[in-house]
Amino acid sequence: MGTLQHPVLQYRWQVKETNAGAQLVYFGLRNPPNHTGNIIPLPRELADRLQLLDGRTAAKDLPSDLTDHEMYARLIEEAIIVEAHEIRQPSTRDNFQQCVRCVTNDYVLPGLEFDANGLCAFCQCYELAERSGQGAIMQDGITDEDLIRTSSENTGSRFDVMVLYTGGKDSTYLLWYLAKKLRLRVLVASWNMPYTNDTCRENMRRAMRVLPDVEFVERTLP
């Protein structure tokens, strides 16, 4: 630890100033057990010094109050600070890493991490849940009765469920089932993006007409 020649923050780690103070923020999804550790509070003096890590300045030329700081060693140990030649490069349409188990890749989801076997952070979380005994919940699923009971107990929100809606047949059926069959209060969230085909767009417009009590929220991507 602390012996890097030309240290730099790993790709998609940035020092940010917030109302809560200085923070080191990761824009992506880290591997377990660090998947919930995307935000690291920083001492004021260290936040200023981390800005010096440009990958060109040699470690021997960095101020000692940075390289001797106990958190600096921890950041190296967690591969948040790495050698300049080890920094990951942004993925492209033609050059990306895809999970060996699912279709997820780090071009669609920049900053997605993988383990040494090529398993993405999402799939690693499923494995952890199965080993911890929570896998039975995922396998059994949630029943209609569970949803209806939760709805009857839900007095602190305008909505019971949210549907991530693409306009495809699966999410269209799910939306209809929850809103019409189970009569839940549904919030629909969808992306307006260039890859959405005309059929899906028409399905979205039709759903808005057929389900006037459902609230639709749409965000546009370039």
Main-chain dihedrals φ then ψ at residue 94, nearest 5 degrees: -100, -10
d(CA 69, CA 78): 15
Query: What are 17-42's pLDDT values in tens digits?
Result: 988 899 999 999 999 888 878 899 99
Domain residues of the chain, as ranges? 7-86, 90-140, 142-220
- The encoded tokens of residue 59 equal 């470690």
Residue 106: how many other CB atoms lie within 10 Å: 21
Please give the model's pTM, rounded to 2 decimal places: 0.61
Query: Taking 50 as the threshold, does the pLDDT of residue 1 lie above it?
Result: no
d(CA 65, CA 78): 20
d(CA 101, CA 99): 5
Rg (CA), the chain: 23
In this predicted structure, what is the pLDDT of residue 133? 60
Class of domain 142-220: alpha beta
